[in-house]
Amino acid sequence: MRASTEPKPAEGKQQTIKTGADLLVEALIEQKVETIFGYPGGAVLPIYDALYRADGSFDHVLPRHEQGGIHAAEGYARVSRKPGVVIGTSGPGATNLITGIADAMMDSLPLVIFTGQVAKNVIGTDAFQESDVMGITTPITKHNYQVQDLEELPRIVNEAFHIAATGRPGPVVVDIPKDISATVFERDVKNEFHLPGYQPTVRPNPLQINKLREALIGARKPVVLTGAGILHAGGTEALKSFVSNYDLPVTSTLLGLGAFPGDHHRFLGMAGMHGTYAANMSLYECDLLINIGGRFDDRLTGNLQHFAPNARIAHIDIDPAEIGKNVPTEIPIVSDAKKALDKLNELEPATLDHAEWVEKLESNKQNYPLWHNESEDVILPQYLLRKVHQLTDGEAVVTTDVGQHQMWAAQYYTFNRPDRWVTSGGLGTMGFGFPAAIGAQIADKDSTVVAIVGDGGFQMTMQEMSLLQERGLPVKIIIVNNQALGMVRQWQEKFYDKRYSHSIIDTQPDFVKMAEAYGLHGYKMESIQEIDRELGGILNSDKPAVIDCRVVQQENVYPMIAPGKGSHEMIGVSKP
């Protein structure tokens, strides 16, 4: 094994004996794992002992709560496009990871999660810190394993990484009973694997590609919808060529932002519940919708009965089960997004007969841009987000929590590059944004990483400020502080007659002092003058910072497709 050559205080003979945990460590090294987000406990003591012996092989990140660790691993995975590796102990360690596992499943993030389990001979007896990890995680993982025998451990680890990172990415849990990680063994064991039931289709069927091209040539009102599948596939350049070959208008899902440059003249903005008028109307009126790597989530489509009612639907997705799941699809293409786009780009470009359509979309874009109120002094959240964009030249990695601030970030932080946008879309997990920023900063040391969080969600995982303190990671936390669970408040205002049931929170910690308690710089800003004067300097410094921005409480996110409505029935499209 590749244990550190430095003598350890532990007895020297440990250097020669291998345990199951050493096998695990070797397998992680073989997988070129650099960073581990882990938290120790009884059932993973043998694993932590092996990590101790392998000192220097990994950067082990110790969060202050397992949930923080796994969200950090998600941020890491999203930005690096490599699997995030997580270790947790049995029982409460494992259950604290559940939200992150479910989140990664919904947003197709590759994670490999190792959970300790009680020893095999007591599994099923309600032993101390036993929980049925297999049972709990089965519906929220791409796959899960409980290691039954030491000999299968290296194979399972290799399979887990393979499954997590290929096809449609997702979380894989490996549950390791303590006796297995503690067992000493002598023989070499095999790690090759064969997965007859897992052969993702990554190359498109050429006939289907031709069909799509024919549909394109016949289309008068085509539009492209970009999903996160393009990002996972690294398909941005291929997409740009495809779009320019046919001069196509483009819109995006929330998670697909950055797959196509936000400032491109054919980009219509994000579509969906809080998408732009131009984007949603393009979905409503198009005659050909090409969805590349999105999954027709209900927050995108609105009422399915009114979704793209006159369109032929083409859908490129690596997961065949997504095709036709929500929207009947005429041209299904099961493929990796980049490979499909590459194939399309091999065909002769064509000039479409769509001038009228493109013009109409352009005029929608000009006539119905995003709008917000103006102020001379108090901070409007939209202003803040625009400012953050401007001050970071649109180049920062932006992570968000869930709520109004998330939607404003999606609307006003225009992404021109891929893999800069980290947000919890499918599960909508409050508490995600800040720890995800830590993982993103670890994956991308040189970029400015900004965590846009709400005052509500930040308080769910803010203990991870310890990691900024410990590592000096220069993450900038911007609290869009409306002293409210703003998104809930907005729905109560609109749909529950302003009955603000438990959504206004006027008791808050002093975030500045809180930051200082963690050894970080804290700032409080209450006016646009302060923002204009100070924010730039803070964002461009190489120190971590917590910036408590007091914004107008009663602001709403517009435009909006109300629940149950179709994408053509937006409210708040123009300033009243």
Partner 1 sequence: MNRVTGLLSKRQFNIESISVGRTETDGVSKMTFVVDVEDERKLEQFSKQLNKQIDVIKVSDITDKQIVARELAMIKVLTTPQQRGELQAIIEPFRATVIDVSKESMTVQITGNSDKVDAMIELLRPYGLKELARTGLTAFTRGQQLHQTEVKPYSILN
Ligand X SMILES: Cc1ncc(C[n+]2csc(CCOP(=O)(O)OP(=O)(O)O)c2C)c(N)n1
One of 64, 65, 120, 143 touching partner 1 (CB under 8 A) = 143
317 binds Mg ion (CB under 5 A): no
Question: Least separation, in Å, of the C-beta of 201 and partner 1?
Answer: 6
Question: Least separation, in Å, of the C-beta of 406 and ligand X?
Answer: 7
Q: Which pair of tokens denotes residue 126?
A: 């309600």
451 binds ligand X (CB under 6 A): no
One of 196, 305, 348, 446 touching partner 1 (CB under 8 A) = 196
The interface partner of residue 418, options being partner 1, ligand X, Mg ion, none and the CB cut-off 5 to 8 Å by kind, is: none
Residues 144-183 that bind partner 1 (CB under 8 A): 163
One of 248, 430, 475, 525 touching ligand X (CB under 6 A) = 430
Of the two residues 196 and 576, which places its CB atom closer to partner 1 in the complex? Answer: 196
321 binds partner 1 (CB under 8 A): yes
One of 482, 490, 556, 567 touching Mg ion (CB under 5 A) = 482
| Residue facing Mg ion at closest CB distance | 454
66 binds Mg ion (CB under 5 A): no
Q: How far apart are the first and last CA of the chain?
A: 69
Instruction: Tell me the CA distances in angstroms from 383 to 387, 480, 490, one per residue in order.
Output: 6, 11, 18
Of the two residues 45 and 504, which places its CB atom closer to ligand X in the complex? Answer: 504
- DSSP for 371-439, please give it: -----SSSBPHHHHHHHHHHHTTT-SEEEE-SSHHHHHHHHHS---STT-EE---SS--TT-HHHHHHH
Residues 197-226 that bind partner 1 (CB under 8 A): 197-198, 201, 204-205, 208
Query: Does residue 69 sit in helix, strand or coil?
Result: helix
Q: Which of the ranges 307-315, 436-444, 481-489, 532-540 carries the binding residues for ligand X, by CB under 6 A?
A: 481-489
Question: Least separation, in Å, of the C-beta of 505 and Mg ion?
Answer: 8
The helix (run of H) or strand (run of E) holding residue 29 is: helix 20-30
Separation between Cα atoms, residue 311 and residue 210, nearest integer Å:
18
Q: Which of the ranges 31-39, 247-255, 325-333, 419-427 carries the binding residues for partner 1, by CB under 8 A?
A: 325-333
Nearest alpha carbon to residue 70 among 59, 81, 86:
86
247 binds partner 1 (CB under 8 A): no
Of the two residues 94 and 484, which places its CB atom closer to Mg ion in the complex? Answer: 484
Question: Least separation, in Å, of the C-beta of 428 and Mg ion?
Answer: 14
134 binds partner 1 (CB under 8 A): yes
**Helix/strand/coil (H, E, C) string of 195-253?**
CCCCCCCCCCCHHHHHHHHHHHHHCCCEEEEECHHHHHHCCHHHHHHHHHHHCCCEEEC
341 binds ligand X (CB under 6 A): no
The interface partner of residue 429, options being partner 1, ligand X, Mg ion, none and the CB cut-off 5 to 8 Å by kind, is: ligand X
Q: Which pair of tokens denotes residue 197?
A: 């039931």
**CA angle in degrees (0–180, nearest 5) for 425-364-246:** 80
Separation between Cα atoms, residue 412 and residue 478, nearest integer Å:
15
One of 89, 181, 392, 482 touching ligand X (CB under 6 A) = 482
428 binds ligand X (CB under 6 A): yes
What is the chain's alpha carbon radius of gyration, rounded to the nearest angstrom? 25
Report the DSSP beta bridge partners of residue 479.
Answer: 453, 548
Separation between Cα atoms, residue 185 and residue 488, nearest integer Å:
55
Of the two residues 117 and 556, which places its CB atom closer to ligand X in the complex? Answer: 556
435 binds ligand X (CB under 6 A): no
Q: Around Cβ 305, how many Cβ atoms within 10 Å?
A: 9
Virtual torsion, Cα 401, 405, 409, 410, nearest 10 deg: 80
Report the catalytic residues: 66, 128-129, 178, 487
Question: Least separation, in Å, of the C-beta of 388 and ligand X?
Answer: 14
One of 488, 535, 545, 573 touching ligand X (CB under 6 A) = 488
Query: Does residue 365 sit in helix, strand or coil?
Result: helix
Nearest alpha carbon to residue 164 among 92, 85, 99:
85
Q: Which of the ranges 191-199, 300-308, 461-469, 478-486 carries the binding residues for Mg ion, by CB under 5 A?
A: 478-486
Of the two residues 128 and 496, which places its CB atom closer to ligand X in the complex? Answer: 496
One of 22, 285, 455, 548 touching Mg ion (CB under 5 A) = 455
Residues 522-541 that bind partner 1 (CB under 8 A): none
142 binds partner 1 (CB under 8 A): yes
Question: Least separation, in Å, of the C-beta of 340 and Mg ion?
Answer: 40
52 binds partner 1 (CB under 8 A): no
Single-letter code of the amino acid located at 407: M
Separation between Cα atoms, residue 138 and residue 229, nearest integer Å:
23
Question: Least separation, in Å, of the C-beta of 2 and partner 1?
Answer: 30
Residues 366-405 that bind ligand X (CB under 6 A): 401-405
| Residue reference for tokens 């720890």 | 435
The interface partner of residue 241, options being ligand X, partner 1, Mg ion, none and the CB cut-off 5 to 8 Å by kind, is: none
**CA angle in degrees (0–180, nearest 5) for 268-350-267:** 10
**CA angle in degrees (0–180, nearest 5) for 7-8-14:** 95
Q: Which pair of tokens denotes residue 8?
A: 């350890």
Per CB under 5 A, residues contacting Mg ion are 454-456, 482, 484, 486
Per CB under 8 A, residues contacting partner 1 are 134-135, 138-139, 142-143, 163, 195-198, 201, 204-205, 208, 319-321, 323-325, 328, 332-334
Per CB under 6 A, residues contacting ligand X are 401-405, 428-431, 454-457, 480, 482, 484-488
